Amino acid sequence: MVDKELLTARLEAAQRVADAAAAIVRPLFKSDSLQVDYKEAVSPIVTQADRDAEAAMRLILEAEFPDDTIIGEEHGVKDGTSGFAWILDPIDGTIAFSIGKPVFGTLIGLACQGEFELGIIDQAVLGERFLGLREGGSSLNGNLLSTSGRTELSRAKLAFTSPLKDPGVERIVEAVHVTSYGGDCYNYALLASGYLDIVIEKGLNLYDYAALVPVVEGAGGVISDWQGRSLTQAGGSDVVASATRALHDHVLSMLA
């Protein structure tokens, strides 16, 4: 059981961390001054906004919680001893950000002893902050969220960041009502808000999904790996999220 005072202090800090990232990310969106570098990775580019935003986020956390672990996409791992771990992705969807599509987000996850306790998906340009708490529900700018409650695959709305070549995925695409491509972390925010019913992705890193788990689950959704196992702090995973347990079980059976 997590101490509520310790968690509350970190929740308040998480909001300030999101504000600090937004202050850097927002002015650089669609800016001619944005610097883009290329890297050898699944996402082949990184921007100054990625690096500077994470640096600003870490500065707050290191000052206020020096004993907490910090795991970031751009600046690596700082080990801690408190049992709390911050997992940061300053811009999830860097390609979308770099070409002016507002479907990226800043991800802030907090784990305690391996359990994902808190998640934020912050879309700075749209002014949308999705907050999920493992034991406190999910909200958008303070308003409670709920998934669609969809159980029928034939009426479901499915989203991918990019097309996936997989027989099970192809069966699901044929079975659902609507399929959308693109979206990165924003797809999970849309699922938590009731606009999407299923999101499927492959090869996500810890910093890609840590913040998503509390947001999806807090809204009543289900998120796991493709085998139905809980997502953990251990490492990367193929991820599927659904609006309901019944829909999730159906999707998992088709992926199998």
Which one-letter amino acid corresponds to residue 159? A
Q: What is the pTM of this model?
A: 0.94
Q: Where in the chain is the domain with CATH 3.40.190.80?
A: 153-255
* pLDDT for 102 beyond 70: yes
- pLDDT per position as a tens digit, 144-197: 999 999 999 999 999 999 999 999 999 999 999 999 999 999 999 999 999 999
- pLDDT per position as a tens digit, 26-55: 999 998 777 777 665 556 678 889 999 999
Least confident of 10-24, 44-58, 79-93, 175-189: 44-58
Q: What is the predicted pLDDT for the residue at 41?
A: 58
Which residue in 189, 193, 172 sits closest to 252, CA to CA?
172
Residue with tokens 């300030």: 16
Q: What is the predicted pLDDT for the residue at 21?
A: 98
Average pLDDT over residues 7-36: 93
Average pLDDT over residues 103-115: 95
Least confident of 33-37, 76-80, 120-124, 148-152: 33-37
CATH architecture, domain 4-144: 2-Layer Sandwich (3.30)
CA-CA-CA-CA dihedral for 21, 125, 242, 178, to nearest 10: -150
- pLDDT per position as a tens digit, 223-248: 999 999 999 888 778 999 999 999 99
Q: What is the predicted pLDDT for the residue at 248?
A: 98
Q: Which residues contact 163 (CB under 8 A, 6 or more apart)?
A: 181
Identify any residues that bridge with 72 across adjacent strands, giving them in sequence order. 76, 88
Q: What is the predicted pLDDT for the residue at 33?
A: 76
Q: What is the predicted pLDDT for the residue at 169?
A: 97
Q: What is the predicted pLDDT for the residue at 37?
A: 74
CATH class of 153-255: alpha beta
Q: What is the predicted pLDDT for the residue at 35?
A: 76
